[in-house]
Chains A and B, each alone.
Chain A
Amino acid sequence: MNDVNQVEVLLVEDSPRDAEMTSRALRKRNLANNLVHVKDGQQALDWLFGTGDYAGRNPCDHPKVVLLDLKLPKVDGLDVLRAIRADERTRLMPVVVLTSSAEEQDVMGSYKLGVNSYIIKPVDFDKFSSAVAELGHYWMLLNKEPK
C-alpha cells in the first residue's frame, strides 16, 4: 500500500488557522504530501464513506492517520469517531483526536470509542508545531498499520 497517491493524512478541522498551522508543521517535516482537509463532521463522513461530495471514493482506501478535532460543525467529532469504529471498512483506521478540550468527559468518550491517541493542542506555537510534527512522524513513518 505504498502507493504514492495514497492519502496519508485526513485532517478534520473547522478552524482554518489551526488547519494551516497543522499542515505547515507537517509540511516542514515533509509529512503532508498527501493531506486532505475537511471542515466539518459531515464532510469527514462523506470523504470516509465515499458519499455526497466524495461519491465514488473507495472507503477501503485508508489514510495513514485521521487527525480529528472534536468541536465540529454539523456532525460532532465523537460521532465521526463512532461512525468510523462502527463500520467494518474503517474500523481499524488509526484516529488521533487533536483538540483544545482537556475535559475529562471528552478524553474518556474518545478512548471508550477506541481512539488511538488523544492530543491537546498547545497554545504556544512552538509546542504546537513540534507536537503535530511528532505525531505525524509517529503515525506516518514509525507505525505499522494492519494490511
Chain B
Amino acid sequence: MKRFRNLSISRKLILAFLLASILPLLIAVALVLAYELAGQRARIISNLITQAEMIAVSTRATLEFEDPKSAQETLATLATRPEIHSACLYTSDGAVFATYIRGDDGSFKFPSVGEAGHRILGDNLDLFYPIGSGADLVGHVFLRVDMRILRARLPNYFAIVGSVVIGLMAVCYWMSRALEKFISGPILSLAETSQIVQETRNYSIRAQKHGDDEIGQLTESFNQMVGGIEEGTNRLLLSNERLQAEVIERERAEGEIKLHSLELEATNKELEAFSYTISHDLRAPLRAVDGYIRMLQEDYAKQLDAEANRLIAVVSSEARRMGQLIDDLLAFVRLGRQQMHTTVIDMTSLARETFGSVAGANSTLPHRFELQPLPPAQGNLAMLRQVFLNLISNAVKFSRHRQTPVIEVGGWSHEGLMTFFVKDNGVGFDDKYIHKLFNVFQRLHTEEEFEGTGVGLAIVQRVIHRHGGKVWAEGKPNQGATFYFTLPK
C-alpha cells in the first residue's frame, strides 16, 4: 500500500484505470466461459438424445425383425461423429444386440442396461434411450460420449478469449494513458509551476488552467494564493522601498541639519566677531575717559581739593566698572555658546554680597535693604551674580528719588521650582510697556531721568532662560516694581 502511495499520480491513475476496466472484463469473460461451458454440455446432451432417437427410430425394425446386421450398419454411421466413443443396442430383455466402438478398443465392456437418461462418469457422458415405451418397449440405445475430445477444443477457445482480453487490456492501457493525461496533465503542470515558483521566488508566474473541474479550481486557488503572495511581496518591497526612501530622506535631512548647524555656527562666529568689535568700539571712549581722568590726576592733583579728587576717583572707578560690564557682556555672549558649569549656590549670600558691591560703589546710598532667607539654587555662579547685580542695580537706580527707598529680596521653593524676587518702591513702570521690558537696548526712561543702556534686563532674561527658568515683572507707575525669576531644581 505504501508503495502504491509513493507512485506518481499518472502511474496510480493508469493502475486505477486498468484495474477498473480489466477486472469487470475478466469477470465477464469468466461468466461467458461458464455460460458457454454449461450451454455446450446441454447442447451435447440434446444432440446426443436426438442421435439416440434417430438410432431408435431407424433400428426399431431391426430389433423387431432381429436383424442385427442391419442394426450394426446403422450404428457404424456414427463414425461421422468423432465425439461418440461407443454405442450399443440392447434388446428388451437387456441382451446386447449390436455394438459400435470407435477405433479398436477391444477391452471395452458395455455396461448393462441402466435407467433411461444421461449421467456423467469421469470423462464419459453416458445415455440410455428407450426404444418404444411401456408394453411396446423393444429395447434400449446406449451412447457414450468421450468428453475429452470435446474438451480438446477448449484451449483453442481460451486462446481466443485470452488474446481478446490481452487486446482489450492493451486498448485499456492505451486509453488510460490517454485519459490519465487529461487528469494528471493539469496536476503535473500545477506541480511543476509550484516547483518553479518555489525555486525562483518569482510570484508573477501563474499556473495554466485546463478546465473548470476540481483541478481547475485547485489551479485557481493556487493562482490566487500566489497572487496573494505576490501582492504581499510587492507590498513588502514597496514598504522596503519606502523605508529606504525614508532613510535617504533622513540622511538628506541630517545633511541639511548639518548644513544648518554649520550656518548657525557661522552666524554665531559672525555674532561673536560683531560683539568683539562692538566691545572694542565701546572701550575706545572708555579708554579716553580713564586716560583723561588719569591725566587730570597726574597733572592737577595738587591743585584740587579733596572733593575734586573724590569725584575724579569716582569717574575712574565708574569707567573701570563699565569696562568690567563690557567684559562681562562679552563673556556672557561667549557663554551663550559654551557649556554652562553649574554648582549649588547660596542665594542668600549671593544677594547680600551683590547688594554690598552695589552699595560700595554708591557710598551715600540711603536705601534700606531687606533680605529674606533664600532657598539655595543650582546654577552658574557668575551668571546668577550678574542677574542679582542687574536687578538690584535697577532697584537702587529707580528708587533713589524716594524719601526712604526700600529694596526687598525674597524667594521660596515650591514643587522643585525656586522663585526669587527683587522688589523696590521706586518709579515703577506702566503695564502697557511690559512686553518691551526685557528687550535689548529697550529703555522706558530717558537718559536724563535714569542713566542706562538697556542691556541689564535682557541679560537677566537670557541667563534665566539659559537656566531653564522664567522671568517676569509686576509694576505700576510710581508704585514700585517687582522682578521675579524662577530656577528649576
Selected from A15, A102, A124, A126, the residue in CB contact (under 8 A) with B284 is A15
What's the least CB distance linking A9 to chain B, in Å? Answer: 18
Name the one of B273, B284, B288, B291 contacting A103, with C-beta atoms under 8 angstroms: B273
**A125 lies within 8 A of B294 (CB):** yes
Min C-beta distance of B195 to chain A, whole Å: 75
Shortest distance between the CB of B429 and any CB in chain A (Å): 34
Within 8 A of A (CB), among B264-296: 273, 276-277, 280-281, 283-288, 290-292, 294-295
Residue of B nearest to A100 (CB): B280
- Roughly how many angstroms separate A126 CA and B293 CA in the complex, as a whole number? 12
User: Interface majority SS on B: helix, strand, loop or mixed?
Assistant: helix
- Asked whether any CB of chain B lies closer than 8 Å to the CB of A82, the reply is no
Query: Which residues from B are CB-within-8-Å of A15?
Result: 284, 288
Determine which of B273, B290, B294 lies in contact with A123 in the assembled complex, contact meaning CB atoms within 8 Å.
Answer: B290
With A17-B292, A24-B295, A100-B280: A121-B287 Cβ-Cβ less than 8 Å: yes
Is A18 an interface position by the 8 A CB rule? Answer: yes
Chain A contacts with B in 1-23, Cβ cutoff 8 A? 15, 17-18, 21
**Prevailing SS type, chain A contact patch:** loop
**Contact between chains at B277 and A101 (CB < 8 Å):** yes
Given A103-B273, A123-B323, does the pair A18, B280 have CB atoms closer than 8 Å? Answer: no
Contact of B287 (CB < 8 Å), options: A24, A102, A125: A125
Contact with B along A104-147 (1 / 0, CB 8 A): 00000000000000000111111010000000000000000000
A125 & B281 in contact (Cβ 8 Å cutoff):
no
Distance in Å: Cβ of A28 to nearest Cβ of chain B: 9
Least Cβ distance of B272 to chain A in Å? 10
- Of B276, B290, B291, the residue contacting A102 (CB under 8 A) is B276
For A18, list chain B residues within 8 Å (CB). 284, 287-288
CA distance A102 to B285 in the complex (A): 17
Residues in chain A near residue B276, CB distance under 8 A: 102-103
Q: In the complex, how many angstroms separate the beta carbon of A63 from the nearest chain B beta carbon?
A: 24
Q: Which residue of A17, A101, A126, A128 contacts B280 across the interface (Cβ within 8 Å)? A: A101
The answer to whether residues A21 and B291 also contact, given A103-B276, A103-B277, A123-B323 and a CB cut-off of 8 A, is yes
In Å, the complex CA distance between A121 and B280 comes to: 10
* Also in contact, A100 and B281, with CB within 8 A (given A24-B295, A123-B323): yes
**A126, B294: Cα distance in complex, Å:** 9
Asked whether, in the complex, the Cβ of A124 is within 8 Å of the Cβ of B290, the reply is yes
Nearest residue, chain B, Cβ from A28 = B298
CB of A142, distance to nearest CB on chain B (Å): 26
Q: How far is the CB of B301 from chain A (nearest CB, A)?
A: 15
Query: How distant is B191 from chain A, measured CB to nearest CB, in Å?
Result: 81
Contact B277 A128, beta carbon cutoff 8 Å: no
Bound CA–CA A124/B284 (angstroms) = 11
CA distance in complex: A121, B286 (Å): 12
Question: Which residues of the partner chain A approach B273 to less than 8 Å between Cβ atoms?
Answer: 103
**Among A24, A102, A125: residue with most chain B CB under 10 A:** A125
List chain B residues, Cβ under 8 A from A103: 273, 276-277
Determine the residue in chain A with the shortest Cβ distance to B288: A17
**Cα A103 to Cα B283 with chains together (Å):** 15
Complex formed: what's the CA distance from A125 to B292 in Å? 9
Give the complex CA separation of A17 and B287 in angstroms: 9
A100 to B273, CA, bound (A): 13
Q: Counting chain A CB atoms within 10 Å of each CB, which of B283, B284, B285 scores highest?
A: B284
Please name the residue on chain B nearest to A99 by beta carbon: B280
When the two chains form their complex, are residues B287 and A123 in contact, meaning their CB atoms are under 8 A apart? yes
Segment 27-54 of A: residues with Cβ below 8 Å from B: none
Min CB distance B317 to A, Å, is 13
Scoring B276, B283, B285, B291 by chain A CB atoms within 10 A of each residue's CB, the highest score goes to B291
Rounded to whole Å, the gap between the CB of A16 and the closest CB of chain B is: 9
Q: What are the residues of chain A within 8 A of B287 when measuring CB–CB?
A: 17-18, 21, 121-123, 125, 128
For A18, A21, A102, the residue with the greatest tally of chain B CB atoms inside 10 Å of its CB is A21
Q: Are A102 and B280 in touch, CB under 8 angstroms? A: yes
CA distance A18 to B289 in the complex (A): 10
| A17 & B291 in contact (Cβ 8 Å cutoff) | yes
A69 to B296, CA, bound (A): 25
State in angstroms the CA–CA spacing of A107 and B292 once bound together: 28
A17–B295 alpha-carbon span in the complex (Å)? 12
- Chain B contacts for A100, CB-based, 8 A: 280-281, 283-284
Q: Name the one of A24, A123, A126 contacting B283, with C-beta atoms under 8 angstroms.
A: A123
State the Cβ distance, A55 to closest chain B Cβ, in Å.
33
**What separation, in Å, do the CA atoms of A12 and B454 have in the docked complex?**
35
Expressed in whole angstroms, the minimum distance between the Cβ of A56 and any Cβ of chain B is 35
Q: How far is the CB of B294 from chain A (nearest CB, A)?
A: 5
What does the 1/0 interface line of A85-103 toward B look like (CB < 8 Å)?
0000000000000001111
User: Which residues of chain B have C-beta atoms less than 8 A from A125's C-beta?
Assistant: 287, 290-291, 294
Give the residues in chain B near A121, CB-CB below 8 Å: 287
Other A-B pairs beyond A15-B288, A18-B288, A123-B286, 9, CB < 8 Å: A15-B284, A17-B284, A17-B288, A18-B284, A18-B287, A100-B280, A103-B277, A123-B290, A125-B290
Q: A-B pairs with the 9 shortest C-beta distances?
A: A17-B288, A100-B280, A125-B291, A21-B291, A125-B294, A125-B290, A123-B283, A123-B287, A123-B323
Pull 22 A–B residue pairs with CB atoms less than 8 Å apart, ordered by A.
A15-B288, A17-B285, A17-B288, A17-B291, A18-B284, A18-B288, A21-B287, A21-B288, A21-B292, A21-B295, A24-B295, A100-B280, A100-B284, A101-B277, A102-B280, A103-B273, A123-B283, A124-B290, A125-B290, A125-B291, A126-B294, A128-B287
